[in-house]
A and B are shown apart, each in its own frame.
Chain A
Amino acid sequence: MEIFVLGFFAIGYLVLAGADIGVGMALPYLGRSAGERREVIAAIAPFFLGNEVWLVATGGVLAGLFPRLEGELLHGNHTVVVTLLVAWVVRDMGLWLRGRLPGARWQACWDGAIVAGSWGLALSWGALLSHVLLGIEGPVALLPALVIAALFGTHGLTFAALRLRGTLRARAAVLAGGAGEVRTYALTSVVLVVVGVLAGLRLPLEPGTSGPLLVPVVLTLIPFLVAAQAWVWWTFRHRVSGPSYL
């Protein structure tokens, strides 16, 4: 059961946050002007906060249910994890800060932070997953990392095609081809799930001793957590029709 709980949150993160990371990676391609970029960001704005908490929860589940694995996984991939965290912070601050001032240079600077942070996140995930999945480290890991980054990028572009309209939607649909946005999004989601499951199978998933106490608590909570997120997705289900708060 411990493994199910960890997998639930980790894979939930890959599929949900994978989309907003991908949109961040494609921001220069999708949004050619400042106004367009703001509209592209509006496509993920209500969701990214709720998406990234899946990784915070994964960290919490690791600390509570797999404390030994937490240490091995994090300090064993020290450089990659530090890079991942810095990229995460830079990207988040880019999203929060870009709209705080009206200046064009200010916004371009934080748009840059969003793009660099999104790429940094995707490549760090790629490096981490290629280490776990294939045992590859160092510069060679850049190759599988690029594959994972391409996966995030495709997933994000398809999500953008689902959320945007007009020219922006047509631009985002470039990879969906004739298959349609929904079907492509389902496909990239399945691939992310498979990657997550395979990575999980390669990890030494030996639970600690607090499972009997913690697992029932978490299983009781999951329906409430999912319901809270479902409310967000339902509230913002409409296609983006203009800039949002960010």
Chain B
Amino acid sequence: MDIVDLARLQFALTAGAHFLFVALTLGLATLVAVVQTRATLSGDPVHLRMTRFWGQLYIINYAMGIVTGLVMEFQLGLSWSGLTEYAGDVFGSALAIETLVAFFVESTFLGLWIFGWNKLNRWAHLALIWVVTLTAYASAFWIMVANGFLQNPVGHVLEGGRLRLTDFGAMVANPAAQVAFWHVLFGAMIVGGFFMAGVSAYHLSRRTPEQDLFRKSLRIGIGVALPALLLTATFGGIGFESLQPAKAAAWVNDAERLAAAQAEMVARFGPGDYLPPVGAVQAGGITMLTLFAVMLFVAAPSFLLMLVRPVVRGFRVWHWLLTLMIPVPFVTMLAGWVFREMGRQPWAVYGLLTTSDAMSPVTEGQMVFSLTAFVTVFAVLIAVNYWLLARQARRGPGAVALGDRPVDAPVPAPSF
């Protein structure tokens, strides 16, 4: 492996890990916000316990999303300064808006939501989770604007060897950003929906307490997952129509189209290999589409089954199937991401800057050091976090600390 491969591996592992967590974060935040709305409107204790249970799982997951995300943010300057120097004036604006408009507000209000339980007015507390959810969407949106620019650069001119943003509207309206944003957003709803349905099915099959809570949760999960599947596929289909020529050729592995894409690039940029790795692109695309079909075959009949209460309570085989389905949307998301990002190679900014030119001038020793450090820390933390997520999910709502009344509450004295 040369140093560019090491840097790519490092970014791919960080982004992939981040993607796993933020997908569930987006989906679960939405579900928690909906459940808390019902709890606040009806005052129903079941919905309140649902909010606390799913909210606790959401927070465990969110923390991991943050730490992988911040490493990703700083990796741009660490490993890819060629990219930020060349195109930072354009897509850096989207990243800056993401951190300020979205992430800053999301994290601040999430802290208030977590620690303000039983402290704030319940309507203010409800408003907080909605702000957190909507800013999470905004975060995904601006990240997809940045990513869309790398896929399909628009709204810029080249000046003195660097790109300058000339049309902000064009960058935001970029179809490579818009279509992908909706695709990813509904994909996250699939992740959240199957997660909620799968965990609930586990509890229903085990006959644990709180059958009522999990029966309702299962229905919400399936009720969200099925329409989200159809919408994700719709936007994915639209995205397929505007693939870069080389990505499209690699997807169908058509020798003629691959040669044509290569010849066109050689004519524009001089000799070189401009084709993405066909095997990886195909594997990513096929996995994504196959698993989509699997999810659809499970979600559609589940939608009918969940309408019959005795079935929801007692159909064990179906419960096991739903529990087994929990990892499937995660794998599908990663496969789709491999398809999208590997298909763009060898370009960091499509048609403008190659990945190898985007590298920072760092030594191989430095790259090995950072790769080893990040991989070791993340491997441990991801394992611990998924174990905790599974443990908390298995133990059910009785063991939730979130929103517990404080143990003792003497008269508070202001500290500042």
CA distance A229 to B108 in the complex (A): 6
Q: Of A46, A60, A89, which one neighbours B73 at CB under 8 angstroms?
A: A60
A208-B92, A210-B92 known; A53 and B361 CB under 8 Å?
A: no
Q: How far is the CB of B44 from chain A (nearest CB, A)?
A: 23
State which of A60, A83, A101, A231 has its C-beta within 8 Å of the C-beta of B100. A60
Q: Is the interface of A mostly helix, strand, loop or mixed?
A: helix
Checking B76, B110, B362 against A78 with a beta-carbon cut-off of 8 angstroms, the contacting residue is B362
Q: CA A74 – CA B76 in complex, angstroms?
A: 9
* Chain B residues, CB < 8 A from A125: none
Interface size class of A (residues with CB under 8 A): 35 or more
Q: B397-412: contact bitstring with A at CB < 8 Å (1 yes, 0 no)?
A: 0000110101111101
Q: Please, how many angstroms separate the alpha-carbon atoms of A207 and B178 in the complex? A: 29
A146 within 8 A of B: no
The reply on B294 being an interface residue by CB < 8 A is no
Contact between chains at A70 and B84 (CB < 8 Å) = yes
21 example contacts (A-B, Cβ-Cβ < 8 A) are as follows A49-B108, A56-B70, A59-B74, A62-B77, A63-B76, A64-B92, A64-B95, A71-B84, A75-B79, A79-B366, A89-B67, A93-B381, A209-B89, A210-B90, A228-B105, A232-B108, A232-B111, A239-B412, A239-B415, A242-B408, A242-B410
Q: A162-B416, A241-B409, A242-B406 are in contact. Are A86 and B373 (CB under 8 A)?
A: yes
Instruction: Give Cα A213 to B167, complex, Å.
Output: 10
Q: Does A217 contact B (CB under 8 A)?
A: yes
Q: Whole-angstrom distance between the alpha carbons of A44 and B343 in the complex?
A: 45
The A195-225 residues at the B interface (CB cut-off 8 A) are 208-210, 213-214, 217-218, 221, 224-225
Q: How many angstroms from the CA of A239 to the CA of B85 in the assembled complex?
A: 47
The answer to whether B78 touches A81, judged by C-beta atoms less than 8 angstroms apart, is yes
**B-binding residues in A (CB < 8 A):** 45-47, 49-50, 52-53, 55-57, 59-65, 67-68, 70-75, 78-79, 81-83, 85-86, 88-90, 92-93, 96-97, 99-101, 162-163, 165, 182, 208-210, 213-214, 217-218, 221, 224-225, 228-229, 231-233, 235-245
Q: Given the complex of chains A and B, what is the CA–CA distance between A86 and B70 in angstroms? A: 10
Task: Report whether A225 and B381 are in contact in the complex, using a CB–CB cutoff of 8 Å.
Answer: no
- Chain A nearest CB from B83 CB (Å) reads 9
Given the known interface contacts A70-B81, A75-B362, A78-B362, the answer about A213 and B107 at a Cβ–Cβ threshold of 8 Å is: no
